[in-house]
A and B are shown apart, each in its own frame.
Chain A
Amino acid sequence: MEALFAVIIGLLVACGVYLLLRARSFPVVLGLTLLSYAVNLFLFAMGRLSVNHPAVISEDAGAYADPLPQALVLTAIVIGFGMTAFTVVLALRAQGDTGSDHVDGRG
């Protein structure tokens, strides 16, 4: 499970970085989104991967999932979502202003 998880995060980061380095604003936004997905998964895995472990205290649980990374991921998702929306609006405005979706405003 760990290996698969790591490969997926790596793949997401690779695609995210590739798109981030494109010269058009839409791929850049997609790149940021992929990067934030990878980061969220990474943060989530920091509480170690486990199956069927409760995060909330219960009487018959032998071990618990670490609840803190889940709380962190929630915060990161909210912030990442807001930032993506903002970047999209800003990219649209910049395109409206310059008539081009190039990140440097070139044609």
Chain B
Amino acid sequence: MLTAGGDGSVNHLVIIPVLLPLVIGSLLLLVGRSRLPLQRRINAAACLLLLFSAAALVSLSGTGVHLLYALGNWPAPHGIILVVDRLSGLMLLLTSLVALASLARAVDRRIDEQGPYFHALFQFQLMGLNGAFLTGDLFNLFVFFEVLLIASYGLLLHGGGPARHRAGLHYVVLNVAGSALFLIAIGILYGLTGTLNMAELAARVAAAGPQDAGLLRAGALLLLVVFGLKAALLPLYMWLPEAYRRTSAAVAALFAIMTKVGAYAIVRMFTLVFPPQAGDMAGPAHAWLLPLALATLAVGALGVLASRDLRRLLAYFVVVSVGTLLTAVGLFSSAGLSAALVYLIHSTLITAAFFLVADMVDEQRGSLNMREAMPVAQPLLLGTLFFAAAVALAGLPPLSGFLGKFMILQAAGDSVATVWVWAIVLATSLLGIVALGRAGSALLWKTGSGQPAGPATGVVSSLPALLLLACGALVVVFAGPVTEYTEAAARQLMDPDRYVESVLMGPGRGPGGGA
């Protein structure tokens, strides 16, 4: 029996976000393809359960403790340990929200009828994502990265088609090569420190002598490259626009969280294992992140402006949001991280929502190309949704993008790079507004006469997008509690000693341990 834990009992809720999708995903493999309605119900129920468990974990981690779960009751650092802090809790909640909306849209558009195993892959995708956010072990992080990548290959290619296969091939080959680099980095760090547990790794890196500094630096920079590839940081973002453009909209919406996994891993690694105060051990990784992020932002904004297709434009907006997010992270201050988290919540929700809105426009208009085409069947509904999503995404008040960008500008105020951050963030925001304004008027106003390509879909179809937009609006309405939470999360991240202490003194070490 598992009875370990510093305070007496294990909270099995911690493993639910990994275990539930695993069980449900395997179950869905067994449910035949002919019973699609059953598959849909099971998947939706599982997503709802995940949402509740993530919400419970957020409220538990909100007290500031690190919730720990030692797998098989092996105490850290010998066994794999799952850790929930405020950041992980937040990521879990975002994942389940986006998943719910994405699933609803996929079912509404009957994407799951285009091939078998959509629902199983969907659950395995969630398992990989949740596991990556939860794990406290570097090799386990690699394994969960692979789980989420393998599932994402399947989802990306679901439905098939030449363009999708070609974009998919690039995505797969790049990520497999990235995984090889990840393993090399893990090998270097293990060879030097003899551990893979992130907390113990942090302690050993802090205590490492100067003779190991060169290899540690190499390991840290390799990790930055790998996570930069997943996050689509310049110059490793090339795979993203085509992949996100060619896949189905519901999957693209789910993938809004995928680049955030890379960003999450960067935050975790470079605040915990290689904190800014480690200085020389992490090499120039901290110094490079800010310029790279700003360059990503600038290039992404140019891509947005050059796009003649709404899906491509949105894919470049994913690059822009990664650039903005990592700019805030690259400040490596408490205020910067807090701003980054607010922006992360905003950009995940709104980008996903926009992919869904774009899909509705596509359905009714027949094309997302900005040439003259047929009018949409529901101009008022789609126009309003488009306008709301565009205002939020561009960062105009009063919606969530404004809050996130405002906090980033404020956080950059006392950094050495203030001028650069302000100039690039503001200039790219302007480019974004121009591009979105042009896209909106071209798609919804510049219409020929004739019948819409698709029928009016009813308000029900817009519910997934509405859900995400409403959550984005709630971030602004409850800006007080949200920023309180992100500030607390940022303080928690800037205090890696607490993390190390609670993990190494955690489950299995308490009086009830070693059952």
Measured CB to CB, the residues of A under 8 A from B are: 20, 25, 28, 32, 35-36, 38-39, 42-43, 45-48, 68-69, 72, 75-76, 79, 82-83, 86-87, 90-91, 93-94, 97-98, 103-105
Return chain B residues, CB-CB under 8 Å to A91: 169
Closest chain-A Cβ to B245's Cβ sits at a distance in Å of 15
Majority-rule SS of A interface residues: helix
Chain B residues with Cβ below 8 Å from A35 are 177, 180
* Chain B residues whose C-beta falls within 8 Å of the C-beta of A87 in the assembled complex: 169, 172-173, 176
Within B248-286, which residues are at the interface with A (CB < 8 Å)? none
* Residues in B146-160 with C-beta less than 8 Å from chain A: 146, 150, 153, 157, 160
B179 touches A103 (CB 8 A): no
**A90 adjacent to B165 (CB under 8 Å):** yes
CA distance A103 to B165 in the complex (A): 10
Assess A83 versus B166: contact at CB under 8 Å? Given A39-B184, A42-B187, A97-B161.
Answer: no
> Please, how many angstroms separate the alpha-carbon atoms of A20 and B139 in the complex?
25
List the B residue with the shortest CB-CB distance to A44: B187
For the complex, what is the distance from the CA of A86 to the CA of B170, rounded to whole Å?
13
* Bound CA span A77–B191, Å: 19
Q: Which of A75, A97, A105 contacts B143 (CB 8 A)?
A: A75
Given contacts A32-B180, A75-B139, 16 further A-B pairs with CB under 8 A are A32-B176, A45-B187, A46-B190, A68-B196, A79-B179, A83-B146, A87-B172, A87-B173, A90-B157, A90-B172, A91-B169, A94-B165, A94-B166, A97-B161, A97-B162, A98-B165
| Contacts A43-B186, A103-B170; A83 near B161 (Cβ below 8 A) | no
**Separation in Å of the A8 CB from the closest CB of chain B?**
15
**Complex Cα spacing A87 to B143, Å:** 18
Give the nearest-CB partner of A28 in chain B.
Answer: B173
- How many whole Å from B402's CB to the nearest CB in chain A? 40
- Complex CA distance for A105 and B160, rounded to whole angstroms: 15
A residues less than 8 Å from B168 (CB atoms):
90, 94
Beta-carbon nearest neighbor of A17 in chain B: B177
The answer to whether B183 has its CB under 8 Å from any CB of chain A is yes
How many residue pairs link A and B with beta carbons under 8 A? The number is: 84
**22 examples of A-B residue contacts, CB within 8 angstroms:** A20-B173, A32-B177, A32-B180, A36-B180, A38-B180, A39-B183, A43-B186, A43-B187, A45-B191, A68-B196, A69-B187, A72-B186, A72-B190, A83-B172, A83-B179, A86-B153, A87-B169, A90-B165, A90-B169, A94-B162, A98-B162, A103-B170
- What sequence of 0s and 1s flags, for each residue 182-201 of chain B, a beta carbon within 8 Å of any chain A beta carbon? 01101110110000100000
Q: Which residues of B are in contact with A by a Cβ distance under 8 Å? A: 139, 143, 146, 150, 153, 157, 160-162, 165-166, 168-170, 172-173, 176-177, 179-180, 183-184, 186-188, 190-191, 196
Which of B139, B143, B184, B187 is packed against the most chain A CB atoms within 10 Å? B187
Kindly provide the distance from the CB of B97 to the nearest chain A CB, expressed in whole angstroms: 29
Residues of chain A with a CB closer than 8 A to B170's CB: 103
Q: Please provide the 3 A-B residue pairs with the shortest distance between their CB atoms, ordered closest to farther.
A: A97-B162, A46-B191, A94-B165
In the complex, which residue of chain B has the Cβ closest to the Cβ of A87? B172
A43–B173 touching, CB < 8 Å: no
Cβ of A81 to closest chain B Cβ, rounded Å: 12
Contacts of B191 in A (CB 8 A): 45-48
B282 to chain A, nearest CB (A): 20
Q: Which residues of B contact A82 (CB under 8 A)?
A: 150
- Complex Cα distance A96/B229, Å? 29
- The residue on A at minimum CB distance from B149 is A83
Output the least CB separation between A13 and chain B (Å).
Answer: 9
Complex CA gap A105/B6 in Å reads 57
When chains A and B are docked, how far (Å) is the Cα of A93 from the Cα of B176?
Answer: 18
Tell me if B150 and A86 are in contact (CB < 8 A): yes
Tell me the smallest distance from the CB of B411 to a CB of chain A, in Å. Answer: 38
A76 near B169: Cβ-Cβ < 8 Å: no
Q: Is the CB of A68 within 8 A of B166?
A: no
Does A42 lie within 8 Å of B184, measured CB to CB? yes
Complex contact B166–A104 (CB within 8 A): yes
B243 to chain A, nearest CB (A): 13
Residues of chain B contacted by A47 (CB below 8 angstroms): 191
Task: Give Cα A94 to B165, complex, Å.
Answer: 5
A75 / chain B contacts, CB cutoff of 8 Å: 139, 143
Can you name the residue of chain B whose Cβ is closest to the Cβ of A38?
Answer: B180
Q: A2 to B319, alpha carbons, bound, how many Å?
A: 43
- The docked-state distance in angstroms from the alpha carbon of A79 to that of B170 is 19
Q: Specify which of B143, B160, B162, B173 is in contact with A32 (CB 8 Å cutoff).
A: B173
CA separation between A105 and B170, bound complex, in Å? Answer: 11
Q: How far is the CA of A30 from the CA of B188 in the complex (A)?
A: 25
Q: Which of A46, A79, A105 contacts B162 (CB 8 A)?
A: A105
Question: In the assembled complex, how far is the CB of residue B122 from the closest CB belonging to chain A, in whole angstroms?
Answer: 18
Tell me if A20 and B177 are in contact (CB < 8 A): yes
Chain A's nearest CB lies how many Å from the CB of B186? Answer: 7
Flag if A76 contacts B176 (CB, 8 Å): no
